[in-house]
Structure 1
Amino acid sequence: MIASRFSLACSFGLALALPACGGKNRDHGQGGAGLDTTTGLETLGIINITHVPSTPAGTSFYVVQAAFSDHYESTSDVECTYREEAHCTIQACTDNRTAPFRAKPAGKLTIGGGLFGTPGIEVEPDSDHAYVDVGSIKPWEPGQMLIARGGGDEIPSFEVSVPAPGTFTLMAPAIPPEDALPISRSAPLPLQWSAEPLDRVVIITSSEKTSNANPLVTATCRFAASETSGGIPASVLAVLPPGPATFDAAVTNIGVSQVANRAVLFVATELAHAAGGGPAHASARVE
Protein backbone atom coordinates (compact mmCIF):
# COMPACT_ATOMS: atom_id res chain seq x y z
CA MET A 1 0.00 0.00 0.00
CA ILE A 2 2.77 2.47 0.89
CA ALA A 3 4.60 1.68 -2.35
CA SER A 4 1.53 2.39 -4.49
CA ARG A 5 0.79 5.59 -2.59
CA PHE A 6 4.39 6.72 -2.98
CA SER A 7 4.45 6.06 -6.73
CA LEU A 8 1.19 7.97 -7.20
CA ALA A 9 2.44 11.11 -5.48
CA CYS A 10 6.00 10.74 -6.80
CA SER A 11 4.89 10.96 -10.41
CA PHE A 12 3.73 14.50 -9.70
CA GLY A 13 6.21 15.47 -7.02
CA LEU A 14 9.32 14.38 -8.88
CA ALA A 15 8.30 16.14 -12.05
CA LEU A 16 7.60 19.30 -10.14
CA ALA A 17 10.17 19.55 -7.44
CA LEU A 18 12.93 17.03 -6.98
CA PRO A 19 16.33 17.38 -8.63
CA ALA A 20 15.82 15.20 -11.68
CA CYS A 21 17.71 17.78 -13.72
CA GLY A 22 21.17 19.21 -13.21
CA GLY A 23 23.96 20.75 -15.22
CA LYS A 24 23.66 23.64 -17.61
CA ASN A 25 20.77 25.62 -19.06
CA ARG A 26 18.68 25.44 -15.91
CA ASP A 27 16.54 27.76 -13.89
CA HIS A 28 14.04 27.23 -11.13
CA GLY A 29 11.21 26.94 -13.65
CA GLN A 30 8.69 24.60 -12.05
CA GLY A 31 10.89 23.67 -9.12
CA GLY A 32 13.83 21.97 -10.81
CA ALA A 33 17.34 22.22 -9.46
CA GLY A 34 19.47 25.17 -10.48
CA LEU A 35 18.71 28.88 -10.21
CA ASP A 36 15.71 30.02 -8.18
CA THR A 37 14.31 32.88 -10.24
CA THR A 38 12.48 34.45 -7.28
CA THR A 39 15.76 35.17 -5.48
CA GLY A 40 18.50 34.71 -8.09
CA LEU A 41 20.16 32.15 -5.79
CA GLU A 42 21.45 28.70 -6.63
CA THR A 43 19.36 25.86 -5.21
CA LEU A 44 20.61 24.18 -2.03
CA GLY A 45 17.66 21.89 -1.39
CA ILE A 46 14.08 21.08 -2.30
CA ILE A 47 11.36 19.83 0.04
CA ASN A 48 8.21 18.56 -1.62
CA ILE A 49 5.01 17.60 0.19
CA THR A 50 2.14 16.27 -1.91
CA HIS A 51 -1.37 15.65 -0.59
CA VAL A 52 -3.59 13.17 -2.42
CA PRO A 53 -6.98 14.22 -1.04
CA SER A 54 -9.10 11.30 -2.24
CA THR A 55 -8.06 7.94 -3.63
CA PRO A 56 -10.55 5.56 -5.31
CA ALA A 57 -10.69 3.72 -1.97
CA GLY A 58 -11.76 6.95 -0.24
CA THR A 59 -8.56 7.46 1.74
CA SER A 60 -6.30 10.51 2.01
CA PHE A 61 -2.53 10.58 2.38
CA TYR A 62 0.55 12.74 1.97
CA VAL A 63 4.08 12.08 0.75
CA VAL A 64 7.18 14.07 1.76
CA GLN A 65 10.28 13.98 -0.44
CA ALA A 66 13.39 16.09 0.05
CA ALA A 67 16.97 16.24 -1.19
CA PHE A 68 19.84 18.66 -0.51
CA SER A 69 23.16 19.23 -2.25
CA ASP A 70 25.68 21.97 -2.89
CA HIS A 71 26.71 20.28 -6.15
CA TYR A 72 23.74 21.02 -8.40
CA GLU A 73 25.80 23.24 -10.67
CA SER A 74 28.72 20.83 -10.92
CA THR A 75 26.56 17.92 -12.11
CA SER A 76 27.20 18.76 -15.75
CA ASP A 77 26.33 15.27 -16.99
CA VAL A 78 22.64 16.12 -16.66
CA GLU A 79 21.48 18.72 -19.16
CA CYS A 80 18.08 20.41 -19.01
CA THR A 81 16.61 22.86 -21.47
CA TYR A 82 13.49 24.98 -21.01
CA ARG A 83 11.17 26.57 -23.54
CA GLU A 84 8.11 28.73 -22.94
CA GLU A 85 5.12 28.17 -25.20
CA ALA A 86 1.82 29.96 -24.56
CA HIS A 87 1.11 29.38 -20.83
CA CYS A 88 3.28 26.25 -20.68
CA THR A 89 6.91 25.45 -19.87
CA ILE A 90 8.50 22.56 -21.73
CA GLN A 91 11.43 20.95 -19.91
CA ALA A 92 13.66 18.32 -21.52
CA CYS A 93 16.36 16.65 -19.39
CA THR A 94 19.03 14.29 -20.69
CA ASP A 95 20.81 12.22 -18.06
CA ASN A 96 24.35 11.13 -18.96
CA ARG A 97 25.55 10.61 -15.39
CA THR A 98 27.89 7.75 -14.61
CA ALA A 99 27.53 8.35 -10.86
CA PRO A 100 24.39 8.89 -8.76
CA PHE A 101 23.14 12.28 -7.62
CA ARG A 102 25.20 13.43 -4.62
CA ALA A 103 22.82 14.35 -1.84
CA LYS A 104 24.00 15.70 1.53
CA PRO A 105 22.42 15.33 4.96
CA ALA A 106 20.60 18.28 6.51
CA GLY A 107 19.99 16.67 9.90
CA LYS A 108 16.51 15.80 11.06
CA LEU A 109 13.79 17.34 8.86
CA THR A 110 10.73 18.55 10.77
CA ILE A 111 7.51 19.64 9.10
CA GLY A 112 4.88 21.36 11.21
CA GLY A 113 1.97 23.72 10.94
CA GLY A 114 -1.20 22.81 9.09
CA LEU A 115 -2.89 19.86 10.78
CA PHE A 116 0.36 18.17 11.80
CA GLY A 117 0.09 19.33 15.39
CA THR A 118 3.02 19.68 17.79
CA PRO A 119 5.88 19.00 17.27
CA GLY A 120 4.94 18.02 13.69
CA ILE A 121 6.39 15.11 11.76
CA GLU A 122 10.08 14.25 11.84
CA VAL A 123 11.89 12.67 8.90
CA GLU A 124 15.41 11.22 9.14
CA PRO A 125 17.65 10.88 6.05
CA ASP A 126 18.21 7.42 4.61
CA SER A 127 21.62 5.99 3.71
CA ASP A 128 21.65 8.06 0.51
CA HIS A 129 20.74 11.24 2.45
CA ALA A 130 17.28 11.35 0.85
CA TYR A 131 14.20 12.17 2.92
CA VAL A 132 10.94 10.25 2.38
CA ASP A 133 7.83 9.96 4.55
CA VAL A 134 4.29 8.73 3.86
CA GLY A 135 1.37 9.43 6.18
CA SER A 136 -2.33 8.60 6.18
CA ILE A 137 -3.63 11.85 7.64
CA LYS A 138 -5.03 15.03 6.15
CA PRO A 139 -2.03 17.38 6.41
CA TRP A 140 -3.69 20.80 6.08
CA GLU A 141 -6.65 23.03 5.45
CA PRO A 142 -6.26 25.53 2.58
CA GLY A 143 -4.30 28.62 3.59
CA GLN A 144 -2.76 27.19 6.76
CA MET A 145 0.97 27.87 7.08
CA LEU A 146 3.36 24.94 6.76
CA ILE A 147 6.88 25.17 8.20
CA ALA A 148 9.88 22.97 7.37
CA ARG A 149 13.00 23.00 9.54
CA GLY A 150 16.35 21.33 8.95
CA GLY A 151 18.34 20.43 12.05
CA GLY A 152 21.70 21.05 10.39
CA ASP A 153 24.55 18.80 9.27
CA GLU A 154 26.58 19.17 6.09
CA ILE A 155 23.70 21.41 5.04
CA PRO A 156 23.26 24.24 7.58
CA SER A 157 20.11 24.48 9.69
CA PHE A 158 17.21 26.32 8.06
CA GLU A 159 13.53 27.20 8.29
CA VAL A 160 11.21 27.76 5.33
CA SER A 161 7.44 28.22 5.18
CA VAL A 162 4.68 28.04 2.56
CA PRO A 163 0.88 28.47 2.68
CA ALA A 164 -1.05 25.25 2.11
CA PRO A 165 -2.82 25.07 -1.25
CA GLY A 166 -6.50 24.39 -1.84
CA THR A 167 -7.99 22.02 -4.39
CA PHE A 168 -10.50 21.89 -7.23
CA THR A 169 -12.38 19.31 -9.30
CA LEU A 170 -11.18 18.47 -12.79
CA MET A 171 -14.23 18.06 -15.02
CA ALA A 172 -12.41 17.32 -18.29
CA PRO A 173 -10.66 15.31 -19.46
CA ALA A 174 -12.30 12.40 -17.68
CA ILE A 175 -9.79 10.32 -15.73
CA PRO A 176 -10.18 6.67 -16.84
CA PRO A 177 -10.38 4.27 -13.88
CA GLU A 178 -8.10 1.67 -15.45
CA ASP A 179 -7.08 2.42 -19.06
CA ALA A 180 -4.49 5.03 -20.02
CA LEU A 181 -5.71 8.54 -20.81
CA PRO A 182 -5.19 9.08 -24.58
CA ILE A 183 -3.36 12.32 -25.47
CA SER A 184 -3.04 13.31 -29.11
CA ARG A 185 0.11 15.09 -30.25
CA SER A 186 -1.75 16.70 -33.16
CA ALA A 187 -4.74 18.34 -31.40
CA PRO A 188 -5.18 20.61 -28.36
CA LEU A 189 -6.14 18.94 -25.07
CA PRO A 190 -9.23 20.75 -23.68
CA LEU A 191 -9.48 21.21 -19.91
CA GLN A 192 -12.39 22.18 -17.67
CA TRP A 193 -12.63 22.47 -13.89
CA SER A 194 -14.80 23.71 -11.05
CA ALA A 195 -14.80 27.41 -10.25
CA GLU A 196 -12.71 27.54 -7.08
CA PRO A 197 -10.56 30.74 -7.09
CA LEU A 198 -7.22 28.96 -7.39
CA ASP A 199 -4.31 29.04 -9.79
CA ARG A 200 -4.01 25.59 -11.33
CA VAL A 201 -1.25 23.52 -12.87
CA VAL A 202 -1.45 20.58 -15.27
CA ILE A 203 1.66 18.48 -15.82
CA ILE A 204 2.25 15.82 -18.47
CA THR A 205 5.53 13.90 -18.21
CA SER A 206 6.88 11.30 -20.61
CA SER A 207 7.76 8.10 -18.76
CA GLU A 208 9.50 5.87 -21.29
CA LYS A 209 13.25 6.19 -21.74
CA THR A 210 15.01 3.67 -23.97
CA SER A 211 18.41 5.06 -22.94
CA ASN A 212 19.89 7.86 -20.84
CA ALA A 213 20.56 9.80 -24.04
CA ASN A 214 16.82 10.21 -24.66
CA PRO A 215 15.40 13.23 -22.82
CA LEU A 216 12.68 13.05 -20.22
CA VAL A 217 10.15 15.66 -21.37
CA THR A 218 7.67 17.46 -19.11
CA ALA A 219 5.02 19.98 -20.14
CA THR A 220 3.86 22.15 -17.24
CA CYS A 221 0.89 24.42 -17.96
CA ARG A 222 -0.47 27.00 -15.52
CA PHE A 223 -3.94 28.53 -15.47
CA ALA A 224 -5.16 31.61 -13.60
CA ALA A 225 -7.74 31.52 -10.83
CA SER A 226 -10.17 33.46 -13.02
CA GLU A 227 -10.30 30.68 -15.63
CA THR A 228 -12.78 27.79 -15.49
CA SER A 229 -11.52 26.16 -18.68
CA GLY A 230 -8.44 26.12 -20.80
CA GLY A 231 -6.34 23.87 -22.92
CA ILE A 232 -2.88 22.62 -23.74
CA PRO A 233 -1.94 23.66 -27.29
CA ALA A 234 -1.09 21.03 -29.89
CA SER A 235 2.27 22.76 -30.38
CA VAL A 236 3.13 21.88 -26.76
CA LEU A 237 1.84 18.31 -26.95
CA ALA A 238 3.78 17.74 -30.19
CA VAL A 239 7.02 18.09 -28.23
CA LEU A 240 6.16 15.09 -26.02
CA PRO A 241 7.58 11.81 -27.31
CA PRO A 242 5.00 9.16 -28.25
CA GLY A 243 4.46 6.50 -25.61
CA PRO A 244 3.66 6.20 -21.90
CA ALA A 245 3.28 9.33 -19.80
CA THR A 246 1.59 10.61 -16.65
CA PHE A 247 -1.10 13.30 -16.34
CA ASP A 248 -1.67 15.32 -13.16
CA ALA A 249 -3.79 18.33 -12.25
CA ALA A 250 -3.10 20.20 -9.02
CA VAL A 251 -2.62 23.42 -7.08
CA THR A 252 0.90 24.15 -5.90
CA ASN A 253 2.53 26.81 -3.70
CA ILE A 254 6.28 27.40 -3.38
CA GLY A 255 8.10 28.98 -0.44
CA VAL A 256 11.76 30.02 -0.57
CA SER A 257 14.31 30.66 2.19
CA GLN A 258 17.92 31.81 1.86
CA VAL A 259 20.47 29.50 3.50
CA ALA A 260 24.22 29.99 3.11
CA ASN A 261 23.65 32.26 0.09
CA ARG A 262 21.55 29.60 -1.60
CA ALA A 263 17.84 28.82 -1.82
CA VAL A 264 15.89 26.09 -0.03
CA LEU A 265 12.53 25.53 -1.72
CA PHE A 266 9.43 24.21 0.04
CA VAL A 267 6.83 23.01 -2.48
CA ALA A 268 3.31 22.17 -1.25
CA THR A 269 1.08 20.39 -3.78
CA GLU A 270 -2.56 19.36 -3.60
CA LEU A 271 -3.75 16.99 -6.30
CA ALA A 272 -7.15 17.91 -7.70
CA HIS A 273 -10.24 15.72 -7.45
CA ALA A 274 -11.39 13.87 -10.55
CA ALA A 275 -15.06 14.33 -11.43
CA GLY A 276 -15.57 10.56 -11.39
CA GLY A 277 -13.92 10.15 -7.98
CA GLY A 278 -10.34 9.77 -6.84
CA PRO A 279 -7.41 12.11 -7.61
CA ALA A 280 -6.84 13.86 -10.94
CA HIS A 281 -3.89 11.60 -11.70
CA ALA A 282 -3.68 9.17 -14.59
CA SER A 283 -1.38 7.04 -16.62
CA ALA A 284 -1.48 8.44 -20.14
CA ARG A 285 -0.58 7.41 -23.65
CA VAL A 286 0.81 10.08 -25.99
CA GLU A 287 -0.16 9.21 -29.55
Structure 2
Amino acid sequence: MKFARLGPIGSEIPVVESDDTWFDISPITRDIDGDFLSSSKVADVRTALDAGSLTALADADDLRIGAPIARPSAVICIGMNYAAHAAESGSAPPKTPIMFMKTPNTVTGPNDSVEIPRGSTKTDWEVELGVVIGKRASYLDSPDAAAAHIAGFVTANDVSERAFQLEVSGGQWSKGKCAPGFNPTGPWLVTPDEVNHADVRLTSFVNGEPRQDSSTADLIFSVEHIIWNLSQYLALEPGDLVLTGTPEGVALSGRFPYISDGDVIEVEIEGLGRQRQIFKAHEDDRATAAMAE
Protein backbone atom coordinates (compact mmCIF):
# COMPACT_ATOMS: atom_id res chain seq x y z
CA MET A 1 0.00 0.00 0.00
CA LYS A 2 0.94 3.63 -0.50
CA PHE A 3 0.13 6.06 2.33
CA ALA A 4 0.31 9.85 2.35
CA ARG A 5 -0.81 12.86 4.39
CA LEU A 6 -2.45 15.66 2.41
CA GLY A 7 -3.45 19.17 3.45
CA PRO A 8 -2.17 22.26 5.28
CA ILE A 9 0.59 22.01 7.89
CA GLY A 10 -0.92 20.70 11.11
CA SER A 11 -4.16 19.63 9.42
CA GLU A 12 -3.02 16.84 7.13
CA ILE A 13 -5.52 14.12 6.21
CA PRO A 14 -4.25 10.51 6.20
CA VAL A 15 -4.91 8.79 2.87
CA VAL A 16 -4.16 5.58 1.01
CA GLU A 17 -3.80 5.18 -2.76
CA SER A 18 -5.53 2.69 -5.00
CA ASP A 19 -5.81 2.83 -8.80
CA ASP A 20 -4.43 6.40 -8.85
CA THR A 21 -7.11 7.58 -6.41
CA TRP A 22 -6.47 8.78 -2.87
CA PHE A 23 -8.92 7.54 -0.24
CA ASP A 24 -9.52 9.19 3.13
CA ILE A 25 -8.62 6.83 5.99
CA SER A 26 -9.38 9.27 8.83
CA PRO A 27 -12.40 7.13 9.87
CA ILE A 28 -9.86 4.39 10.64
CA THR A 29 -6.93 6.40 12.02
CA ARG A 30 -6.41 9.99 13.10
CA ASP A 31 -2.93 10.04 11.54
CA ILE A 32 -0.14 7.99 10.02
CA ASP A 33 1.97 7.63 13.12
CA GLY A 34 3.52 5.01 15.34
CA ASP A 35 0.20 4.03 16.91
CA PHE A 36 -1.31 3.37 13.48
CA LEU A 37 1.71 1.59 12.01
CA SER A 38 2.07 -0.79 14.95
CA SER A 39 -1.62 -1.69 15.15
CA SER A 40 -4.14 -3.79 13.30
CA LYS A 41 -5.46 -0.61 11.66
CA VAL A 42 -3.04 -1.07 8.75
CA ALA A 43 -4.78 -4.35 7.96
CA ASP A 44 -8.12 -2.62 8.50
CA VAL A 45 -7.23 -0.15 5.74
CA ARG A 46 -6.47 -3.00 3.35
CA THR A 47 -9.75 -4.68 4.22
CA ALA A 48 -11.65 -1.43 3.68
CA LEU A 49 -9.95 -0.91 0.32
CA ASP A 50 -10.86 -4.41 -0.81
CA ALA A 51 -14.45 -3.86 0.34
CA GLY A 52 -14.73 -0.52 -1.44
CA SER A 53 -15.90 1.18 1.75
CA LEU A 54 -13.45 4.13 1.75
CA THR A 55 -14.36 7.56 0.38
CA ALA A 56 -12.19 9.19 -2.27
CA LEU A 57 -10.66 12.47 -1.10
CA ALA A 58 -11.99 15.31 -3.21
CA ASP A 59 -9.40 17.55 -4.90
CA ALA A 60 -6.54 15.41 -3.57
CA ASP A 61 -4.28 16.50 -6.43
CA ASP A 62 -4.67 20.14 -5.40
CA LEU A 63 -3.69 19.65 -1.77
CA ARG A 64 -0.28 20.20 -0.22
CA ILE A 65 1.64 16.98 0.36
CA GLY A 66 2.84 16.62 3.93
CA ALA A 67 5.46 14.23 5.24
CA PRO A 68 3.87 10.76 4.98
CA ILE A 69 4.50 10.12 8.68
CA ALA A 70 3.54 12.36 11.58
CA ARG A 71 6.45 13.73 13.61
CA PRO A 72 8.55 10.72 14.67
CA SER A 73 10.02 10.36 18.14
CA ALA A 74 13.47 10.07 16.55
CA VAL A 75 15.26 10.49 13.23
CA ILE A 76 18.33 8.27 13.21
CA CYS A 77 20.82 8.49 10.36
CA ILE A 78 23.67 6.41 9.00
CA GLY A 79 26.67 8.24 7.55
CA MET A 80 29.03 7.30 4.73
CA ASN A 81 27.12 4.15 3.82
CA TYR A 82 28.14 4.24 0.14
CA ALA A 83 31.85 3.67 -0.53
CA ALA A 84 32.05 6.32 -3.27
CA HIS A 85 30.47 8.94 -0.99
CA ALA A 86 32.88 8.06 1.80
CA ALA A 87 35.72 8.56 -0.67
CA GLU A 88 34.45 11.97 -1.82
CA SER A 89 34.22 12.91 1.87
CA GLY A 90 37.88 11.99 2.29
CA SER A 91 37.23 8.91 4.42
CA ALA A 92 37.71 5.17 4.16
CA PRO A 93 34.55 3.06 4.11
CA PRO A 94 33.41 2.50 7.71
CA LYS A 95 33.74 -0.89 9.35
CA THR A 96 30.61 -0.40 11.43
CA PRO A 97 27.57 1.83 10.83
CA ILE A 98 28.18 5.48 11.73
CA MET A 99 25.15 6.90 13.54
CA PHE A 100 24.03 10.49 14.02
CA MET A 101 20.72 12.14 14.83
CA LYS A 102 18.41 14.71 13.31
CA THR A 103 15.74 16.42 15.39
CA PRO A 104 12.08 15.55 14.68
CA ASN A 105 11.30 19.12 13.56
CA THR A 106 13.54 18.60 10.53
CA VAL A 107 10.82 16.38 9.01
CA THR A 108 8.69 18.36 6.57
CA GLY A 109 6.71 17.91 3.38
CA PRO A 110 8.55 16.79 0.24
CA ASN A 111 7.77 19.97 -1.69
CA ASP A 112 7.88 22.51 1.14
CA SER A 113 10.43 25.29 0.75
CA VAL A 114 13.59 24.99 2.88
CA GLU A 115 15.27 27.92 4.59
CA ILE A 116 19.05 28.08 4.30
CA PRO A 117 20.34 28.68 7.86
CA ARG A 118 21.49 32.16 8.80
CA GLY A 119 25.14 32.59 7.90
CA SER A 120 25.30 29.35 5.93
CA THR A 121 27.73 29.04 3.05
CA LYS A 122 27.74 25.24 2.68
CA THR A 123 24.19 23.91 2.60
CA ASP A 124 24.13 20.58 0.75
CA TRP A 125 21.64 17.98 -0.55
CA GLU A 126 21.59 14.19 0.08
CA VAL A 127 19.04 11.81 -1.42
CA GLU A 128 18.48 8.86 0.94
CA LEU A 129 16.32 5.80 1.38
CA GLY A 130 14.30 6.25 4.57
CA VAL A 131 13.05 3.32 6.64
CA VAL A 132 9.96 3.78 8.81
CA ILE A 133 9.73 1.57 11.88
CA GLY A 134 6.47 -0.29 12.48
CA LYS A 135 7.30 -2.39 15.52
CA ARG A 136 9.60 -1.70 18.47
CA ALA A 137 13.09 -3.02 17.78
CA SER A 138 15.47 -3.68 20.66
CA TYR A 139 18.28 -6.24 20.80
CA LEU A 140 17.26 -8.04 17.64
CA ASP A 141 18.92 -11.44 17.35
CA SER A 142 20.06 -11.01 13.75
CA PRO A 143 19.62 -8.88 10.62
CA ASP A 144 17.06 -11.43 9.43
CA ALA A 145 14.78 -10.31 12.27
CA ALA A 146 14.70 -6.71 11.04
CA ALA A 147 12.08 -7.13 8.32
CA ALA A 148 9.30 -7.74 10.85
CA HIS A 149 9.99 -4.30 12.36
CA ILE A 150 9.74 -2.25 9.15
CA ALA A 151 6.48 -0.48 8.24
CA GLY A 152 7.68 0.90 4.93
CA PHE A 153 10.04 3.10 2.97
CA VAL A 154 10.21 6.77 1.99
CA THR A 155 12.25 9.17 -0.08
CA ALA A 156 14.25 11.58 2.07
CA ASN A 157 16.57 14.54 1.55
CA ASP A 158 19.12 14.67 4.37
CA VAL A 159 19.90 18.37 3.97
CA SER A 160 23.22 19.25 5.60
CA GLU A 161 25.22 22.38 6.41
CA ARG A 162 28.81 21.22 5.98
CA ALA A 163 30.57 24.05 7.85
CA PHE A 164 28.29 23.49 10.84
CA GLN A 165 28.73 19.73 10.48
CA LEU A 166 32.51 19.57 10.14
CA GLU A 167 34.15 22.87 11.06
CA VAL A 168 32.33 23.97 14.23
CA SER A 169 30.93 20.61 15.27
CA GLY A 170 33.21 19.69 18.15
CA GLY A 171 33.55 16.25 16.58
CA GLN A 172 29.86 15.45 16.13
CA TRP A 173 27.82 15.98 12.97
CA SER A 174 24.38 16.98 14.20
CA LYS A 175 24.95 20.76 14.31
CA GLY A 176 24.93 20.62 10.52
CA LYS A 177 21.92 18.32 10.27
CA CYS A 178 19.23 19.81 12.49
CA ALA A 179 18.06 23.14 11.06
CA PRO A 180 14.25 23.23 10.81
CA GLY A 181 13.04 21.66 7.57
CA PHE A 182 16.34 19.88 6.92
CA ASN A 183 14.62 16.54 6.24
CA PRO A 184 11.99 16.76 3.48
CA THR A 185 10.25 13.38 3.55
CA GLY A 186 7.93 11.62 1.13
CA PRO A 187 5.75 12.05 -0.86
CA TRP A 188 4.61 8.54 0.11
CA LEU A 189 5.16 5.80 2.65
CA VAL A 190 5.22 2.57 0.65
CA THR A 191 4.80 -0.77 2.40
CA PRO A 192 7.62 -3.33 2.06
CA ASP A 193 5.65 -5.69 -0.17
CA GLU A 194 5.72 -3.08 -2.95
CA VAL A 195 9.43 -2.11 -2.77
CA ASN A 196 12.60 -4.00 -3.63
CA HIS A 197 14.51 -1.85 -1.17
CA ALA A 198 17.78 -3.73 -1.79
CA ASP A 199 18.03 -2.37 -5.34
CA VAL A 200 16.21 0.87 -6.06
CA ARG A 201 17.60 3.83 -7.98
CA LEU A 202 18.33 7.12 -6.17
CA THR A 203 18.80 10.39 -8.08
CA SER A 204 19.13 14.08 -7.31
CA PHE A 205 19.10 17.25 -9.39
CA VAL A 206 20.03 20.89 -8.78
CA ASN A 207 18.22 23.39 -10.97
CA GLY A 208 17.47 20.55 -13.35
CA GLU A 209 21.08 19.35 -13.61
CA PRO A 210 21.82 15.77 -12.51
CA ARG A 211 23.95 15.23 -9.42
CA GLN A 212 23.49 11.81 -7.78
CA ASP A 213 22.61 8.60 -9.60
CA SER A 214 23.08 5.33 -7.75
CA SER A 215 21.31 2.30 -6.32
CA THR A 216 20.72 0.93 -2.86
CA ALA A 217 22.48 -2.18 -4.17
CA ASP A 218 25.66 -0.19 -3.41
CA LEU A 219 24.91 0.23 0.29
CA ILE A 220 27.83 -0.86 2.47
CA PHE A 221 25.46 -1.90 5.26
CA SER A 222 22.08 -3.24 4.18
CA VAL A 223 18.78 -2.01 5.58
CA GLU A 224 18.45 -5.17 7.65
CA HIS A 225 21.98 -4.86 9.03
CA ILE A 226 21.37 -1.22 9.97
CA ILE A 227 18.16 -1.94 11.90
CA TRP A 228 19.75 -4.92 13.67
CA ASN A 229 22.90 -2.95 14.52
CA LEU A 230 21.01 0.07 15.84
CA SER A 231 18.84 -2.17 17.99
CA GLN A 232 21.93 -3.25 19.93
CA TYR A 233 22.40 0.31 21.19
CA LEU A 234 18.93 1.90 21.30
CA ALA A 235 15.27 1.05 21.00
CA LEU A 236 13.63 1.96 17.71
CA GLU A 237 9.98 2.91 18.24
CA PRO A 238 7.03 2.66 15.83
CA GLY A 239 6.95 5.72 13.59
CA ASP A 240 10.69 6.42 13.92
CA LEU A 241 12.58 7.27 10.75
CA VAL A 242 15.96 5.76 9.88
CA LEU A 243 17.97 7.29 7.01
CA THR A 244 20.39 4.87 5.38
CA GLY A 245 23.05 7.12 3.82
CA THR A 246 23.60 8.97 0.56
CA PRO A 247 25.57 8.09 -2.59
CA GLU A 248 28.25 10.23 -4.22
CA GLY A 249 27.44 13.46 -6.04
CA VAL A 250 26.96 16.07 -3.33
CA ALA A 251 28.53 19.52 -3.02
CA LEU A 252 30.90 18.29 -0.30
CA SER A 253 32.79 16.50 -3.07
CA GLY A 254 34.08 19.86 -4.35
CA ARG A 255 32.69 19.12 -7.82
CA PHE A 256 29.55 21.24 -7.39
CA PRO A 257 28.63 24.52 -5.72
CA TYR A 258 26.68 24.53 -2.49
CA ILE A 259 23.01 25.54 -2.43
CA SER A 260 22.22 29.23 -2.93
CA ASP A 261 19.08 31.34 -2.53
CA GLY A 262 16.50 30.31 -5.13
CA ASP A 263 18.07 26.96 -6.03
CA VAL A 264 15.66 24.12 -6.77
CA ILE A 265 16.62 20.70 -5.43
CA GLU A 266 14.86 17.56 -6.64
CA VAL A 267 15.45 14.07 -5.27
CA GLU A 268 13.79 10.84 -6.32
CA ILE A 269 13.80 7.17 -5.40
CA GLU A 270 12.37 4.63 -7.80
CA GLY A 271 8.90 3.61 -6.64
CA LEU A 272 8.93 5.97 -3.66
CA GLY A 273 8.34 9.27 -5.42
CA ARG A 274 10.02 12.56 -6.26
CA GLN A 275 10.51 15.70 -4.16
CA ARG A 276 11.08 19.33 -5.19
CA GLN A 277 12.20 22.08 -2.83
CA ILE A 278 13.00 25.74 -3.41
CA PHE A 279 15.75 26.86 -1.03
CA LYS A 280 15.46 30.36 0.38
CA ALA A 281 18.08 32.43 2.18
CA HIS A 282 17.42 33.44 5.78
CA GLU A 283 15.78 36.86 5.96
CA ASP A 284 18.83 38.35 7.71
CA ASP A 285 21.10 37.15 4.90
CA ARG A 286 18.66 38.49 2.32
CA ALA A 287 18.77 41.90 4.00
CA THR A 288 22.57 41.86 4.11
CA ALA A 289 22.79 40.93 0.44
CA ALA A 290 20.35 43.72 -0.49
CA MET A 291 22.39 46.29 1.41
CA ALA A 292 25.54 45.20 -0.39
CA GLU A 293 23.99 45.74 -3.83
TM-score, normalisation: structure 1: 0.28
- Which of the two has greater strand per residue? 1
Indicate the structure (1 or 2) with the bigger Cα radius of gyration: 2
Structure with bigger RCO (C-alpha 8 Å, 6+ apart): 2
TM-score, normalisation: structure 2: 0.28
- Which of the two has greater helix per residue? 2
